[in-house]
Structure 1
Amino acid sequence: MTHRETPGRDERLPDRMRDYRIEAEPRETPDLHKLAQLFIGMARSRAEQDHARPAPDTVSPGPDACRGHEVESDQQEAND
C-alpha cells in the first residue's frame, strides 16, 4: 500500500485534520489580554506536566543513596 504525499500535509494527523488550513488576519491593535491569557495557560500547563512527571535529573536520591560512604566535614571553631 503506497501513499501519495501531498506537500503541506502532515501524515501523522488523522485524515479529518489533514486538509485544514490556518489563516490569520492582522489586526490594527493586538489583543494583549488574550495573548497574556494564552501564555499564562501555556506556562500553567507546562508546570502541571513538570509537576506530574519530574525530569530524571531533578529526582532526589533515595534515603539509602549515601549509606556506606564517608562524608568529610570541616569543623569550625567558635571565636571567643
Structure 2
Amino acid sequence: GDPYYPVPRSENEALYKQYEALAANCPNVWFVGRLATYRYYNMDQVVGQALATFARIHKELPATRDSQTAIAAPA
C-alpha cells in the first residue's frame, strides 16, 4: 500500500507543487503538518505547527460572537 508519510521523490515534489498552487486559492483554509509541506514531521512538531497556526488564525479573526463561540466549543 501507500506509505503513511511523505516519500521525497521528484514525482511527489511535482504533485506537491500542484496541490500547493490549488491550496493558495482556498481562502480560509489552513494546512499544517505533513499535508501542508509534504515533509516528514514527528507528532510534537505537527502539534506545535497546529498551535502556532491556531494562534495566528485566532488573532486574524474578527471578534464576533459566532467566531468566539466556535473557538470556545469543545471538540
Instruction: Give the TM-score taking structure 1 as reference length.
Output: 0.29
**Structure with max Cα Rg:** 1
Higher relative contact order (CA 8 A, sep 6+): 2
| Higher percent of residues as helix | 2
